[in-house]
A and B are shown apart, each in its own frame.
Chain A
Amino acid sequence: MKQYLIKLFIFSVVIAISIGFVFSKADGRFDPFYKRFTSSKQSSLILGSSRAAQGLVPSVFNEELNKDGFYNYSFTFNTSPFGPTYLNSIKNKFNEESTNNIFIISVDPWVLVSDGLDPENALQFDESENFLGKVTSVNSNPNLSYFVNGFTDLYVKVLINNSNFLLHDDGWLEVSIKQDSLQLEKNLSSSIDNYTQKLETYQFSELRLDYLKQTILFLKPFGEVYLVRLPIHEKMKAIEYQIMPDFDARINKLSEITSVKYINLYNEDGLYQFTDGHHLTKESAMMVSEKVANFIKNIEATNSRINEDQ
C-alpha cells in the first residue's frame, strides 16, 4: 500500500507540475478571453460585445485622454449581452475604490436581444451557460476556474500559437487577417447570412435594455459614462434596422434618463474598413478609438468650461 501511494503521489506531483507548466504558458494568443480574467480589478472600463473588444483600443484612449487605466472588458454578443451575467462580471472586475474614471459602453441592437421564447425572462438568457456565467473568479492568475469551467477547447491550444489574434494586456483584441478584397467579400457575405438567420429567432428585450441602464447606474458614481455606437458595414445596417428599427431613439431616451452622452458613429461607415462587415480592422479600430477619445475630450472640455463659468 505504502509503495503504491508513494508512486502515485510522485506521479501525481509530476503531472501537476506539467499541467501547471502548460497553464503558465497561456497568453493572449491561445484564447480571445482568458487574459481578461487574469488581470487585477480595473478602473476605466470599455464594455460591450466583440465589436468593442476589437474596435476600441485602450492604449489610444490612454494617450488621447492622458490617463493610464483604460481596460477593455468586452466579449461577444452572445456571451456579454447586457443582462445579469455581464453586470455581475463587471462588478467583480471593477475596482470600486477608484474614482474619476471614464467608462465607454459600446451599444448595438445585438446586445439588447434574446433568442429565448420569452425575451423578458432572465432565466432564458443563455449567456449564464457560457464562461462569464461559469467563471467564479475574474481576477486570478493563472485562472483555474476559467480553464476548468470556461475554456471549451482543447488545452493543447495553450501550447500552439498559430491564432490570428492577440489579446493585449489592456484587454484589446487585435485581429490580423488577410485584407484582400475577395476574402473580405467572403467574410461579409458569411456575416450577412449568419445575422440574417438570427433575425428569425432573436427579438428585442426590454429587460436587457433595463440591465444596460442598471450597468450605467452602477458605474456612474465612479466616473463619466459614455454610450458609443460603432460604425458597421452598410449591408449589415439593413439587418440591424430590421431587428430594432427604433434603436437610436431608445438609446437617446436612455441617455437622457441617465444623463450620459451618446456618441453615435453609426453613419460613418464609409470612413472605415471592416474585417467581416461588423468588426473594424485594427487600423480602423485605432482611428475610431481616436475619434471617440476626441469626442470625450471635447465633451469634458466643454463640461469643465461650463463648470468654470458657473
Chain B
Amino acid sequence: MLFNSLEFAIFLPIVFLLYWFVASRKISYQNILILASSYFFYGWWNWKFLFLIVFSSFLDFYLAKAISKTSKIQHRKLFLSLSIIANLGLLGIFKYYNFFIDSFSTAFSFFGQNINPDYLQLILPIGISFYTFQTLSYTIDVYRKKIDSTNNILAFFCFVSFFPQLVAGPIERASNLLPQFFKKRSFNYEKAVDGSRQMLWGFFKKIVIADNCAYYVSAIFNDANEHSGSTLVLGAVLFAFQIYGDFSGYSDIAIGTAKLFGFEFKQNFAFPYFSKNIADFWRRWHISLTTWFRDYLYIPLGGSRVSNLKTYRNIFIVFIISGFWHGANWTFIVWGLLHFLYYVPTIQLNKNKISLKNNTVNSTLSHLNSGIKMLFTFSLVTFAWIFFRADSIKDAFAYINGIFSKSLFTLPQFIAEEKLWIVLFFIAFQMFIEWQGRFNNHALERFGIQFPKYVRYGFYYGLVMIIFLFGSKQEQFIYFQF
C-alpha cells in the first residue's frame, strides 16, 4: 500500500480509530492491532511475501534468545552467524542473485568463455533491505550485550513489521523502537499534531516536488541523447530534488504516522542539501542507514582507530556496500565509489568531525562562504546522482558526455513550459521552508509558531490545497525498489 494512495487514506483513519477507541485498553490489544494492520498493509502489495517477514521475525526472535541464554562465546558466535547468514542469504537471493550471475557471465565472456546463465525469475520483495537490516541490528545488539533479548514475541514481531517504516524505513534500532512496544501508548495531543504536520510536509515533498520532477527527469534521462547539455544539467538537478522529495517525504510521512500511534522514530533526514561538505552530507542523508553502516560495519572493521590506510579502506568498503545496498547494479557501486572519492579530502582536511549542530548554527545564506560550500557540495552530490539514476554505466557516461558539449550554453528544453516554472517555484518554496526549520527535527516542527493560530492553520490549509491542485498523480516511491 502506498502512502499517497486512496487505499492508505481509508486504511489510516480506520486503524487510527480502532487503535485509540477499541484497542487502547490493553497494551496487547494495541500490539495485536499494529501487527494485524502492518501485515495487511504489506499484504496489500503481495501477501505471499509476508512469509519472509514472518520467517525473519521468528528466526531472529529465537536466535537472539539463544544468544542471550548461553555465555559460551562460540555458541553466541554460531547463533549470530546463523542470523546473519539467513537474513543476508535471503536478501542475496532475492536482490543480488541475478546480478552476480550476470556479472560472472560477463567476466567469463571477457576471457572468451561464453556461458548461458540461469536467471531466476524473482520479484524483489518490497522493503526486504530495510526490515532485514532492522532485524539484523537486533541480533547483533543482543550479541554485543547492548540490549537484552526480549521474551515478548508479539512486541518483537511488531518491531520488525511496524507498517509506517516497514517498506522504506527509517531503519529503526531495537534499542529505540522495541521498548516502545512494551509500554501502553496513551494519546498525546502535541505529538499527534506534530505528526500530522510532519506527514503534511512529507506529502508535499513527495506529491508536489518529487512526482512533478519525475515527469521531467524521466523525459530527460530516458532520451538523454536527444537533449542539449543544459537540459541534461536540468535533468540531473531535478533528479536531485526528486529523490530527496521522494525519500525524505516518505520518511516524514512514516515518522509522522508513527507519532499518531504514540511512537517516536529517529530523524532520518536533516536537511542534507544545506551540507557544507560531503561528510556533513552523510550525517544528514538517510541517517538511519548511514549510522547502521557506521555501527555494524565501519566500527567493527576498526573505524578510524587504525592506520590511515586502513581507515581509508574501511570508508571505501562502507561506501561501496552502501552503494550496493541500493541496488544490484554497477551504477550504484560507482555512485558509492564517487562518494568515497568526495569523502577522502574531508578526512585529509579534518572536516569530517564537525558536529551537525555546530555546522548549522553558524550557517546563514548571508554568509557567502557557507553558500558557496553548500552549492559546491550540492553540485558534487548531483553529479553522483547521475550514476544513481542511469540504467547503466554506459548510459551515465553518455549522459555526462552530453552535458559537456557546446549545447551546455544554450537554453534548456522545457524552459518555456509553464509546468517547469511551477516545479521550480515549489522547489524554491520547499528550500525556503526547510531553511527556516533547519534546526528542528522536521521543517514544520516549529514553523510559524510565532504567528497566531489562524495564520498557521491558513498555512496548513494552503499547503493541503497546493498538494491537491499541483500534486502529480500517484507514483511509486523510488526507495521501494531498494
Contact = CB atoms under 8 A, between A and B. Distances in A.
Interface of A: 1, 3-4, 8, 11, 14-15, 18-19, 22, 148, 152, 154-156, 159
B464 A4 contact: no
Contacts of A155: 468-471
B461 A154 contact: no
Contacts of B69: none
Contacts of B460: 11
B313 interface: no
Contacts, number: 38
B44 interface: no
Contacts of A22: 468-469
B465 A18 contact: yes
B187 interface: yes
Contacts of B461: 11, 14-15, 18
Interface of B is mostly: helix
B473 A152 contact: yes
Nearest to B196: A8
Given A4-B189, A4-B192, A8-B196, A156 B464 contact: no
B470 A154 contact: yes
B464 A154 contact: no
A14 B461 CA distance: 9
Q: Contact residue range for chain B?
A: 20 to 34
Contact of A156 (B20, B189, B457, B469): B469
Interface of B: 6, 20, 187, 189, 192-193, 196, 419, 422, 457, 460-461, 464-465, 468-473
A159 B469 contact: yes
A1 B468 contact: no
B6 to A, nearest CB: 7
A156 B192 contact: no
Nearest to A8: B196
Q: Which 4 pairs, one residue from A and one from B, show the smallest C-beta to C-beta distance? A: A156-B469, A1-B187, A155-B469, A4-B192
B473 A1 contact: no
Contacts of B472: 154
Nearest to B190: A4
Contact of B189 (A1, A11, A19, A148): A1
Contacts of A18: 461, 465, 468
A66 to B, nearest CB: 44
Contacts of A8: 196
A15 B461 CA distance: 7
A156 B425 CA distance: 15
Contact of A154 (B20, B193, B457, B471): B471
Nearest to A158: B469
A174 B6 CA distance: 34
B226 to A, nearest CB: 13
A4 B197 CA distance: 13
B469 A4 contact: no
Contacts of B470: 154-156
Nearest to A148: B6
A152 B193 CA distance: 32
16 contacts: A3-B189, A4-B187, A4-B189, A8-B196, A11-B460, A15-B465, A15-B468, A18-B461, A18-B465, A18-B468, A19-B468, A148-B6, A152-B473, A154-B471, A156-B470, A159-B469
Nearest to B20: A1
B474 to A, nearest CB: 9
Nearest to A14: B461
B189 A154 contact: no
A15 B473 contact: no
